[in-house]
Structure 1
């Protein structure tokens, strides 16, 4: 999916939209998205459904149906379950818009951090906020990869993040 021309459109829609009710179709997509994560559905089936939900959200964005802060937050949640840097980048942009439109939206701020970390990990970089654990294919155990040491707790606090709890160093 190509998103390069979508970001300016998102900004225009976010800044120039009249007050409307929450997008119920998008809300249903989020309910479905979260329900799948509570079941033992196969990864392949889950991946196909995630792709379909992202395609639907892209259509809604193009049609101007993502309007309210909650809509942007919901769209960000769908895209943060993507698998490519572009999808995580769009998730981050959507969460950023939600938080900018309604600064008290705590979940939007959380999605900003989660999508930023996923974006960084997907590009082979270290995460900033310590939100993502990775599964070791050999043991099946989950562990948090190292965080970017150049990002300070002061910088994290400016982005509504608590100081990181130190993680054990690998040998």
Structure 2
């Protein structure tokens, strides 16, 4: 019940204003910059120092939680940006918050395929962190073998259909499996 109250409270500032289009001047500039920095840290490359990225992630997450707590999120883009940063948090509570924020973003703007995708991906990550099979097929792990191949994390293939995946902007299971193979070719 407390989660529902928090979600509704988080939506309260939005109720009086129509949702903004992506890139609107009503989007929170600091939150946008935080999201951009988060994504820059994850650009593919051979020299990512994850210990440094981890500290920056913790700093960004702390600031995002402050913005959420003070009611600074107003637009679908704000909720998406905050969710994306929380998705990279180390704790189950961070992933739960990411899922709630992504769901709010997708509710504000149902046409935002990135928010719909993040809602599915955060749900999968939440299930994965709880040791349960994912539903949508967005999470990959490295095998604990000598070759450390990428593989699709365990999936409950009966939970959702490929049509539901497509509706949320998520690849089909066949496409997700192909992605794992491509990751192993690099």
TM-score band by shorter chain is 0.7 to 0.9
Q: Is the 8 A contact 1:77 1:91 kept in 2?
A: yes
Unpaired stretches in structure 1, ≥5 consecutive residues: none
Query: Within 2, Cα distance between the matches of 1:10 and 1:150?
Result: 33
Q: Which residue in 1 is equivalent to 2:108?
A: 101
Say what the alpha-carbon RMSD is for the aligned residues: 2.6
Runs of 4+, deviation exceeding 6 Å: none
Q: Normalization by structure 2: what TM-score?
A: 0.78
Is 1:122 the equivalent of 2:141? no
Report the CA distance between 1:152 and its aligned residue. 3.6
Is 1:11 the equivalent of 2:11? yes
SS at match of 1:73: helix
Match of 1:75 among 77, 82, 92: 82
Query: Within 2, Cα distance between the matches of 1:14 and 1:135?
Result: 40
Q: Count matched residues.
A: 166
The structure in which a higher percent of residues are helix is 2
Is 1:49 the equivalent of 2:56? yes
Q: Normalization by structure 1: what TM-score?
A: 0.84
SS at match of 1:82: coil
Unpaired stretches in structure 2, ≥5 consecutive residues: 179-186
Query: Within 2, Cα distance between the matches of 1:117 and 1:145?
Result: 9
Cα separation, partners in 2 of 1:155 and 1:86, compared to 1, 3 Å: farther
